[in-house]
Amino acid sequence: MLDLNGDGHALTPRNARTRNLNFDPQGRNTMSWIVSLIIGGIVGWLASMVMKTDAQMGWIANVAVGVVGSMLGYWIAGLLGFAAVGGIARFIVAFGGAVLLIFILGKLGIFRKA
């Protein structure tokens, strides 16, 4: 085994548990996915309220728009050289991306204003 933690002991699942490290042998963190989906749903719902498409969108569409819109917002922010640091800045970038995604989908005829 490799000494990955620098103390002369191999980092194994047992050592990770005793050191209170989040060790997942497949490299996943389930809780972060759940939190991302919840925050994506909130961002998508708020964006749909602002864009007045809330009556047409269910919770699955809110989550999808929030998550995909967040990715769109972070991609555009990166192109503009803006690094969202801090919770409020990250929320604003995610919200802006979700609003932009709803705007684009509206222009494509997928969402209509209520």
**1, 12 Cβ separation under 8 angstroms:** yes
Provide the token pair at 37. Answer: 């989906």
**pTM metric for this prediction:** 0.70
Up-side HSE of residue 40: CA atoms within 13 Å toward CB? 21
- Sequential pLDDT tens for the chain (114 residues): 444 555 555 555 554 555 545 555 565 566 788 888 899 999 999 999 999 888 888 889 999 999 999 999 999 999 999 888 888 999 999 999 999 999 999 899 887 655
Angle at 29 between CA 27 and CA 35, to 5 degrees: 155
- Cβ atoms within 10 A of the Cβ of 62, count? 23
**Contacts of 2 by beta carbon, 8 Å cutoff, 6+ apart:** 10, 11
Note whether 61 and 55 are within 8 A (CB): no
